[in-house]
Amino acid sequence: ATDYAYIGSYGGQDSYGYQTDYPPQEEDAASDATEGHDEEDQMYEGEYQGIPHPDEVKAARRAARAKARTVADGVSDQEELAEQYEDIMEDCGHGKFQWTLFVVLGLALMADSVECFVVALVLPSAEKDMCLSHAEKGMLGLIVFLGMMFGAFIWGGLADKVGRRKCLIIVLAMNCISAFFSSFAQGYGFFLFFRLFSGIGIGGSVPIVYSYFSEFLQMDKRGEHLSWLCMFWMMGGIYASSIAWGIIPRYGWGFSMGTEFQFHSWRVFVLVCALPAIAAFVGLLFMPESPRFLLENAKHDEAWMILKQVHDTNWRAKGEPERVFTVTQIKTPKTQEDEFIEIQTATGTAFQRWVVRTLTLTKLVMKNVLSLFGHDLRLATLLMAIIWFTMAFSFYGLSVWFPDMIKHLQHEEYESKLKVFHREKVEQFHFNFSLENQVHKEGEYINDKYTDKNMKSVKFEDSLFVDCFFENIRSTETIFENCTIRSTVFYDTDLYEEKFIDCTFENVTFLHNKKGCHLDYEEENDVLVYLVSFLGCLAVLPGNIISALFMDKIGRIKIIGGSMLISAGCTFFLFLSFSQAAIIAWQCLFCGVSVAAWNGIQVITVELYPASKRATAFGVLNAICKLAAILGSSIFASFVGITKVIPILLSFGALVGGGVLALKLPETRKKVLL
């Protein structure tokens, strides 16, 4: 149980809550502040229009909350602290401090968004350098979300015990370090490890960012400004896809040191992707800890100083530096953290202290996690877990399915143009032109030359090659199957053994073969990969703006439920037409509508849980979100080229189920943060 006590140590005035003359001003300072301002001459400019003064609105809100407390059977100490903290944030106002923090935390959110896109954008190029199989490519995409799942759980829990700011600095540092090392990692194993490490780090940013920012916002600003913060996730996607488009196709942007060390343009892109995390890390060094977290951990003096800093920064920027921070003491909980500190300092060696601290911290975090399923929070946690899961399952599943279907349609269109040559006989001919998208069956090629050419998607089947000469050949998806090859020379080609299936060789010579698995891939990057990502992110802009403007007007529940149900309806448009352009259009529509649900989910997650459990709950739910993303992307991708009915029905069912359950949640827009 947590006990609350009033703690105050400023000027010996422990018995006062708000004092209009505290701290006392010197006479000169007071006269300077009021010089030329006769109170009788002061007139609020909105008074002529009948607009109430902001101070009157603030007083009315406080009176309404006080009346609600007196009507209630009893008000807990936690609710009393929440009410007082809300009053303090109203006095501090919303201004320069919040907007500065908004930008810093927004950059941290951008870093999380970029991490979700970076592997998908570099994979077409990275697979050339690292000789990746299909299984390895799948693991690389999976490992990032796996890391983010564990990161959200771990850092969300730690943020409620160690501090929001401290944990966020650590996760951003982890992301920056791993981005640097992964860009230079030459082997698949090292690259995979650093992307996992990066995911574990940056996965904790989302739970911390929303918990951190919400604790500097007053009730009437909270929904709108948390929704504006969500726009940085969109900006991260736009940033990643646009710089990928600008950097990765530039093959000259790199260098090599022999054959062992290659630093191509996609590695430059990985480095540049760390810039939002670096900027957020630097900005966060100048930001204070959340005062609400400090109060929950009985650090009254530090919380008071930060709240005063927020108050003075805002009113100074508004041209009212004479405004005085009038809080003398704040209701502060006495928790069991004192015992935790004593255990650390009483232990002998540094290693023993570290072990005891780690075990104690783990125990406290797990206790906090289990408390989410206690009697008072069990229903809310269960509902939120289902809503997070269904939303992420559909969103991330379709996010993978859309581009995969576009590639499948492109492949089908390409195959429809296939040229088949049957029983052709070519003698003493010089093939000095490229061959593409062809099948040659039962052909005879005698004394022919194939020089300085590319072969793309070419298959020779049951064919005979006699006295032929292949020189400087570069091939992509080219194979020889069940062919007989006699007295033939392959000089400076990339036609190695794997490209000859069940073939018979008689007096065949291979000289100076080109080596490297990357030779079996095209060098050209399909700009459609970047374009689809860019348009999908840009499409959420209208939904972001609308949800931010109406979050506090119509409420979180209607935003979430309405957005999820409308998104479910959007999935049925996929049955109407199925061209590449149509898929891109439906993707943009789906992303634009569903983003409102994401914004509402993140806002209400912050508001449903008390300060001591806020980041922990957000971390657990965000971990469930990443698990759903892994399952959704894997399941939906498996149906590409097989059927479109099952992915559409799965996403529709998940969105409808989540949307209906969302309507069962309590509305929190007029609720102070506990």
| Residue with the larger pLDDT of the pair 447 and 403 | 447
Which residues neighbour 402 within 8 Å (Cβ) at sequence distance 6 or greater? Answer: 532, 536, 583, 584, 586, 587
Looking at 455, 484, 511, which one is the last position of a domain?
511
Do 162 and 289 lie in one domain? The reply is yes
In a domain, 256, yes or no: yes
pLDDT at 44 over 70: no
**Sequence-ordered list of residues with C-beta below 8 angstroms from that of 37, at least 6 positions apart, any chain:** none
- Whether residue 353 is contained in a domain is answered as no
> 162 in a domain, yes or no?
yes
* pLDDT, position 43: 46
What is the percentage of the chain residues whose pLDDT exceeds 90? 28
CA geometry: angle 532, 538, 542, nearest 5 deg: 140
Residue 232 lies in a domain: yes
Pull the structure tokens for residue 613.
């459990």
pTM (predicted TM-score): 0.79
Same domain, 327 and 423: no
Out of 36-50, 331-345, 435-449, least confident range: 36-50
User: Are both 322 and 458 inside the same structural domain?
Assistant: no
Domain range holding 478? 419-511
In a domain, 489, yes or no: yes
How far from the centroid of its chain's Cα atoms is residue 38's Cα?
53
Contact call for residues 639 and 646 (beta carbons, < 8 A): yes
362-382 residue pLDDT tens: 888 898 889 888 888 889 999
Q: What is the DSSP string of 281-311?
A: HHHHTTSPPPHHHHHHTT-HHHHHHHHHHHH
Question: CATH number for the domain including 426?
Answer: 2.160.20.80
Whichever domain contains 188, its CATH number is 1.20.1250.20
11 within some domain: no
On whether both 324 and 437 belong to a single domain, the answer is: no
Position 208 in a domain: yes
Specify whether the CB–CB gap between 158 and 98 falls below 8 A: no
Q: Is it the case that residue 31 has pLDDT exceeding 50? A: no
pLDDT range class, residue 323, cuts 50, 70, 90: confident
**pLDDT the model gives residue 334:** 57
- Mean pLDDT of the 46-59 span: 55
Q: Which of 334, 359, 393 is the last residue of a domain?
A: 334
pLDDT for residue 162 is more than 70: yes
- How far apart CA 255 and CA 276 sit, in angstroms, is 25
pLDDT one-digit tens code per residue, 440-454: 999 999 999 988 888
Which residues lie below 8 Å from residue 540, measured CB to CB, with a gap of 6+? Answer: 234, 591, 592, 595
Q: Is 74 exposed, middle or buried (0-12, 13-18, 19+ CB in 10 A)?
A: exposed
Q: Does 78 share its domain with 199?
A: yes
Residues 288, 173, single domain; the answer is yes
CA distance 236 to 360: 37
Question: Is 366 inside any structural domain?
Answer: no
| Residue-level pLDDT at 346 | 56
pLDDT digits (tens, 9 = 90+) for 218-261: 888 888 899 999 889 889 988 988 888 888 776 555 556 555 56
Domain boundary among 286, 311, 334: 334
Worst-scoring range by mean pLDDT, 41-50, 453-462, 495-504, 625-634? 41-50
Compute the average pLDDT of residues 128-148: 82
Whether residue 403 contacts residue 532, with contact meaning beta carbons closer than 8 Å, is answered with yes
Do 126 and 236 fall within a single domain?
yes
Overall number of domains in the chain: 2
Are 326 and 463 in a shared domain? no
Residue-level pLDDT at 166 = 93
pLDDT at 108: 93
